Structure 1
Amino acid sequence: MHGVRDASRRRALRVGGTALAAGLAGCNGMLGRSGSNTSTSTGVRAVLNWKPNPTQAGYFVAQDRGFYADQGLDVDLVPGQGGSFATKQVGLGNAAIGLGSGVAVLQARAKELPVRSYAAAQQSSNAALFTVEEAFGGSLSDVSQLEGARIAVVSGSAKTKTYLESLLATADISESVDLVSVGVEQQTSNLLAGNVDVATGIFSNALALETEGYDASLLLVGDYVPTVGRAVFARPSYVADNQEAVRGFLRATARGWAAAANDPQAAEDAMIAAQPSLRSSRDLGVTKIKFTAKHLIATDAVREHCWGWQSGETWRRVHGSLASAGILPDDMDVDAAWSNDALDTSAPAIGDFADRVNVDYRTQI
């Protein structure tokens, strides 16, 4: 089921995708022929994890440059309301493909929604601990610096709290840290008010503070504990019936991410075309794309394996951590939640992704 596994066999595993009939039957508005070119294009409804933003640049570049069209697809990128919303829409058959965290996939499966991850579009979570020099008294660069700190955690955010507790336990500083519950989107205000020393959030919180003139710093949670990043998921029955459509979507998306990584400015322009309100924060958007490319897309795992590669060990460790916290059931079939089978490693966009990114992000940001 899981396809690409062994890094040493990446080149050997390049086999052509199974070609299926071009026509796809419609289902609840999920599929259907493109109105503009009914003879060649297959409509695919893809629900995003959130409203259009720079961390989704690869998809919008793929759409803007015709990469999906090159695969015979007419993709409709639909704004979402979080990973749980996206998994529900896909699980109920209202969308063919969805974007969301691996944890959202596991939670959906725990509710018996038939979804499975077919690519790790981002290799790690965008969750972060962030601060500013004014609150922390310096730059945050290592977990050990959190000893004795007051850390803002959003009330009810069990997943983030579990990741944080695992990180603190690994550093053996749990007992010294004070976790301060704050309201949704109140982390930054509490940090700047001096109520806490560090806040939990996502990496873009720190980037936004930098653009406002603060000396901000951050730690990516995924650098210290196992996390499953943003996944591309679908219903297994849909993939079984439409393998080439899914493989084509992934090939085009990988091309989009390589193009976005190579030219973040042009990628942000594609985002602005899709979401004009992003124009006022263009420079921040470019920085977000660069950060995403460096830390979540063009990673060592992708260089070793291929774009979209997923690790079974990571999936199992994430489940174990969340199950021990009571967030997920213990008896889940975790290996059924993901598969590398749809990754066409014979396609340069997938198999040679690292070579197609001509910016050495190891020296960037």
Structure 2
Amino acid sequence: MPRTHRIRHIRHTHRLRLLAAAAALAAVVSPLAACSLPGSSTDATSNGTQLTKVNFMLDWAPNTNHIGLYVAKNKGWYADAGLDVDILATSSAGADQAVDSGAADFAISTLAGPAETNTKGANNRMIMQIEQKNSDVWCSLASNTSITRPRDFDGHTEVTFGSSESEAVVQTMIRKDGGTGTYDQVTVGTSTFQSLAEGQGDFADFYYNWEGIEAELNGPALTCFSPADYDIPGNGGQMGVITSESKISSDPDTVRAFVQATQKGYEWAYENPDEASDILLQEAADSDLDEALVKASMKAIVDGQYWGDPTKLKDGSLKLGSIDTAAAQEWLDFMTENGVFVDGDGATVTTAPQAGDLTDASFLG
């Protein structure tokens, strides 16, 4: 699965990575997923009014990146907005493809997701940005004393999920640190921690707000490097909510209702991280989340202001969910310069996708 479709994107625990694979299979064969068609209605009512059924697809196993969705559902804010929201496990094809095909009305992705799929003929849009600050870090096990800085990645092996984005970032970090950018990759489908511990590779891409916190709580200890410290431009972890242009055109009222209820869920979670953590643990009980990890992750998100500056959110100078197209464009330009995007024929795209064409923030409250 490409990094842009992970969670994460945050891209999660050893157990959750394995659960996600099972969940993806379940999503494909689930009768509920098969019969819950985008835009269809159910018999569910709110104050006697029929609710509009919508499907939301996760990008990975449930974690704190998704917490606002579960809060909005738990608090009844989707129902208040006239919506009956099903939160679906990620499909094997990925959240971006599910939105493009109509299998899901909305999904979690990074902006690179629509950039990648749209160059191949899709027409998706990011309509709400959750992560305002990149939480991606590249790490090795601290026990691997041969790696103490990015240039030490030279001659070693990266554990990946098949991401061309990762290659562009790692090569740039190595070269900025005085190395050559020559290293190997191995694609795995299980836990990154486990793969490193078993010696399948030497370093990997982690989300600090989830996997990094997990390592701090439970081990193994990591040695990590942030792309921003090596002049990688923009925000590669620009995670948010996406939908299709056809959904925007055909049903803007549902898009607006969904975005604003979701926005409210994330705002409440940001202001009430402990209570929101309890809601996630309750609503995603089948995922067997670690309570200490969930609460520590939310504390890291709040303390690090990953969803925006709380002072600006309170005084109204910033909306939670605002889309930073400037940072997005810097990242898209960087990815294009490194030959990451290809069109439907497999040809490298030389003109950078434009953030303004991939986003629509008009539905925010």
What is the Cα-based RMSD across aligned positions, in Å?
Answer: 3.2
Q: Does 1:179 align with 2:183?
A: yes
Conserved 8 A contact 2:96-2:113: yes
User: Deviation string for 1:105-153 (max 9, x for gaps)?
Assistant: 1111011112111111222444222345433499x8xxxx434356642
Provide the TM-score with structure 1 as the length reference.
Answer: 0.73
Q: Does 1:43 align with 2:48?
A: no
- Show the counterpart of 1:12: none
The letter of the residue matching 2:137 is A
- Show the counterpart of 1:24: none
Distance 1:306 1:136, change over 3 A: farther
For structure 1, which runs of at least 5 residues remain unmatched after alignment? 1-26, 345-365
Question: What displacement does 1:61 show?
Answer: 0.9
- Show the counterpart of 1:21: none
User: Deviation string for 1:24-68 (max 9, x for gaps)?
Assistant: xxx981012232217242222111112322321111111111121
Q: Does 1:71 align with 2:81?
A: yes
The letter of the residue matching 1:314 is A
Determine the C-alpha separation between the residues in 2 that align with 1:41 and 1:186: 39
- Show the counterpart of 1:20: none
- Show the counterpart of 1:343: 364
Determine the C-alpha separation between the residues in 2 that align with 1:196 and 1:118: 37
Determine the C-alpha separation between the residues in 2 that align with 1:162 and 1:332: 15
Determine the C-alpha separation between the residues in 2 that align with 1:159 and 1:301: 33
Q: Does 1:110 align with 2:119?
A: yes
Provide the TM-score with structure 2 as the length reference.
Answer: 0.73
Which range moved further: 248-257 or 160-169? Answer: 160-169
For structure 2, which runs of at least 5 residues remain unmatched after alignment? 1-34, 342-348
Conserved 8 A contact 1:117-1:231: yes
**Segments of 4+ in structure 1 off by > 6 A?**
193-197
Give the secondary-structure state (helix, strand or coil) at the position aligned to 1:309: coil
- Show the counterpart of 1:30: 38
For 1:54-133, what aligned pairs fall within 5 Å after superposition? Answer: 54-81=64-91, 85-133=94-142
User: Deviation string for 1:226-280 (max 9, x for gaps)?
Assistant: 2252121112232133323222222221221122223333323322323324445
- Show the counterpart of 2:276: 267
For 1:1-365, what aligned pairs fall within 5 Å after superposition? Answer: 29-37=37-45, 39-81=49-91, 85-136=94-145, 145-149=149-153, 152-155=157-160, 156-169=162-175, 171-175=176-180, 179-184=183-188, 185=190, 187-189=192-194, 191-192=196-197, 198-203=203-208, 204-216=210-222, 218-221=224-227, 225=232, 226=234, 227-279=236-288, 281-293=290-302, 294-299=304-309, 303=313, 305-328=318-341, 329-331=349-351, 333-334=353-354, 335-344=356-365
Which range moved further: 301-310 or 157-166? Answer: 301-310
Distance 1:194 1:86, change over 3 A: closer
Give the secondary-structure state (helix, strand or coil) at the position aligned to 2:183: strand
Determine the C-alpha separation between the residues in 1 that align with 2:318 and 2:267: 15
Determine the C-alpha separation between the residues in 2 that align with 1:340 and 1:120: 9
Give the secondary-structure state (helix, strand or coil) at the position aligned to 1:154: strand
Query: Identity, % of aligned pairs?
Result: 18
Conserved 8 A contact 1:124-1:222: no
Distance 1:137 1:159, change over 3 A: closer
Conserved 8 A contact 2:132-2:238: yes
Question: What displacement does 1:164 show?
Answer: 2.3
The letter of the residue matching 1:340 is A
Question: What displacement does 1:302 show?
Answer: 6.7
The letter of the residue matching 1:206 is G
